[in-house]
Structure 1
Amino acid sequence: MFTGLSAFPLTPINEQGIREDAFVGLVQRLAKARVDSIGVLGSTGSYMYLSLEERARITRLAVEHAEGVPVVVGVGALATRDAIRLAEDAQSAGASGVLLAPVSYQALTEEEVFEHYKAVCEHLDVPLCVYDNPGTTHFSFSDALHGRIAELPRVASIKVPPVSAEPNAAEERIARLRALIPEGVTLGISGDPVAAVGLTAGCDAWYSVLGGLLPEQALAITRAAQRGDAREAQQLSEAFEPLWALYREHGSLRVIATLAEAMGLVRTPCLPLPLKALEGQARERVERFIVTGFTR
């Protein structure tokens, strides 16, 4: 399950609540494209802005409308007890796996993070993906900690932060980490702009923001890399450089939310306040990309 393209859709929301119809439409779009898995309630899904009840509802909707595509559910929470509850909710709803990030308010120690993962794993019957995202959690995993957590039962994948855009450096990074984790635990790249590099450097999966909105295009990059065609994968990725530039300036969530609004797939606004989609010249750049950058 934790291989190929894992597509992470938005959770469209306004101050009145979740736009369930729009969310279902995004999930059905991914199911129709036959992505390898659907990852809901990750950072793109605004999970930390939702109540436990809202997250349970999103999980049920995703599983109901995924048409047999495996659903991976983000269960990160400030308190271990809430992460356990969310993991149990995900399992009860029929999720195929869970994704856990060590989110915090107080800075966490490595031992606290290990014990957090250990406690959640003790309540799991489905596989878990370790979500390493220092840009949002402000916690940086050491390679040694990754190796230690990967030994826990139910840990099946590690979602690693962006690797170097230089292929040799990316290969060395993946090789160093792979040497520390058990056989059978996959490595997945996040950071859409370097996904092609990460996949061809040895990652097994792409945990993709882009794939949650443009699954066919993300699948084309993924399949080229899986075939070993690094040149084609990179060329396909380079077609999205206008988006990657906006990612670097504004963050992937705001860019993808703006793209979804501009494509008419969600209503404006679609992000939970205080977050906002792009405006002004940045929004115009997204709209221009729709016209020139890809065929819908």
Structure 2
Amino acid sequence: MFSGLSAFPLTPTNESGIDEAAFVRLVERLADAGVDSIGALGSTGSYAYLTRAERARIAQLAVKHAGNVPVLVGIGALRTRDVLALAEDAQHAGASAVLLAPMSYQRLSSDEVFELYETVTRSLSVPLCVYDNPGTTHFEFNDELYRRIARLPNVRSIKIPGVPSDTDAARAHVERLRALIPSHVTLGVSGDAFAATGLNSGCEAWYSVIGGLFPRTALAITRAAQAGDRQEASRLSARLQPLWAQFSQHGGSLRVIATAAELRGLVERPVLPLPLKVLQGASRQRLAVLLDELELA
């Protein structure tokens, strides 16, 4: 389950709570497309903005409606006690794995992050994916921390935040990380603009934002890379460069993907928890035109 396309859907949310029907539609859309796994409550799923009860409910809905597709559930929180409680909820819901980012308000040290993973992995009965996302956590893993955490029980994958854009540099980066970690631990690339390069350079998985909304588009890139057709994977990704540029322009992928979901009629407004907002005005119109041009599916 820690290879291929792992698609991360939105959690449609308003100030009254979760739009369960819209979330179920998104999950079923991913299952129907044949993604390799579903990542509920990742950053695209707004996990940091939800209560424990809301997160438990999302985990239950994801597992129930994913069919035979395995579900990873995000369990990141500021305190270790809360991470452990969320891990318990995810396992009770039937999650196939959990996904843990080292959230913080006070900046964490490497030893504190290692102890977090050490404590959590001891309590798990399912595998864990390490979630390295410095754009949201403001914590940067180093190679030694990767090495230490990868040897903990139940760790089965590391979600890295991207790879160098140069093909040779990307391959060297992945090979260096691969040499540090056990063979049973996979490397998964995130940062959708880097996905084709990461997969072509030896990453086994793509933890994908765009895959959570447009799974067939992301699957085409993934399957080309898995088949060894590096040129086709790169071509398909390059075609989406205007979308990657939108991510950069608007502070990441969440606002863009949420707006795209609204524009495609997959969710109802509002879709993001306040104070977050989707794109408005000219930015929204430009995205609408772009979606039509790219014919995402």
Equivalent in the alignment of 1:261:
262
SS at match of 1:179: helix
Whole-angstrom distance in 2 between the partners of 1:56 and 1:18: 12
Report whether the alignment pairs 1:280 with 2:284. Answer: no
Matched residue type, 1:168: D
Report whether the alignment pairs 1:3 with 2:6. Answer: no
The alpha carbon displacement at 1:291 in A equals: 1.5
CA contact (8 A) 1:75 1:86 kept: yes
Matched residue type, 2:109: T
Equivalent in the alignment of 1:216:
216
Equivalent in the alignment of 1:103:
103
Report whether the alignment pairs 1:120 with 2:152. Answer: no
CA contact (8 A) 2:97 2:126 kept: yes
Whole-angstrom distance in 1 between the partners of 2:103 and 2:137: 5
Whole-angstrom distance in 1 between the partners of 2:108 and 2:247: 27
List runs of 5+ in structure 2 lacking aligned partners.
Answer: none
What are the superposed Cα offsets for residues 109-142 of structure 1, whole Å, 9 maximum, x if unpaired?
Answer: 1110000001110110100000001110000001
CA contact (8 A) 2:217 2:296 kept: no
Equivalent in the alignment of 2:67:
67
The alpha carbon displacement at 1:186 in A equals: 0.1
Whole-angstrom distance in 1 between the partners of 2:7 and 2:292: 23
The alpha carbon displacement at 1:292 in A equals: 1.1
SS at match of 2:123: coil
Whole-angstrom distance in 2 between the partners of 1:239 and 1:269: 30
Equivalent in the alignment of 1:228:
228
CA contact (8 A) 2:214 2:296 kept: no
TM-score by length of 1: 0.99
Equivalent in the alignment of 1:15:
15
Whole-angstrom distance in 1 between the partners of 2:163 and 2:276: 27
Matched residue type, 1:89: D
Matched residue type, 2:162: P
Equivalent in the alignment of 2:156:
156
Matched residue type, 1:276: K
The alpha carbon displacement at 1:242 in A equals: 1.6
Whole-angstrom distance in 1 between the partners of 2:4 and 2:183: 17
SS at match of 2:216: helix
Matched residue type, 1:246: Q
- Does the C-alpha gap of structure 1 residues 112 and 263 become closer, same or farther in structure 2, counting only changes over 3 Å? same
The alpha carbon displacement at 1:290 in A equals: 2.1
The alpha carbon displacement at 1:285 in A equals: 1.6
Aligned length: 296
Whole-angstrom distance in 2 between the partners of 1:217 and 1:110: 37
Whole-angstrom distance in 1 between the partners of 2:73 and 2:156: 14
CA contact (8 A) 1:246 1:282 kept: no
Structure 1 residue runs of 4+, over 4 Å off?
none
Amino-acid identity (%): 64
What are the superposed Cα offsets for residues 120-176 of structure 1, whole Å, 9 maximum, x if unpaired?
Answer: 101101000000011100000011000000000000000001111111010011111
Matched residue type, 1:225: A
Whole-angstrom distance in 2 between the partners of 1:191 and 1:94: 27
CA RMSD of aligned residues (A): 0.7
Q: Map 1:126-205 to 2 at 5 A.
A: 126-205=126-205
SS at match of 2:90: helix
Equivalent in the alignment of 2:246:
246
Matched residue type, 1:110: S
Query: Which is worse superposed, 145-154 or 242-251?
Result: 242-251
The alpha carbon displacement at 1:295 in A equals: 5.1
Whole-angstrom distance in 2 between the partners of 1:281 and 1:170: 36
List runs of 5+ in structure 1 lacking aligned partners.
Answer: none
SS at match of 1:6: strand
Whole-angstrom distance in 2 between the partners of 1:141 and 1:66: 31
SS at match of 2:188: strand
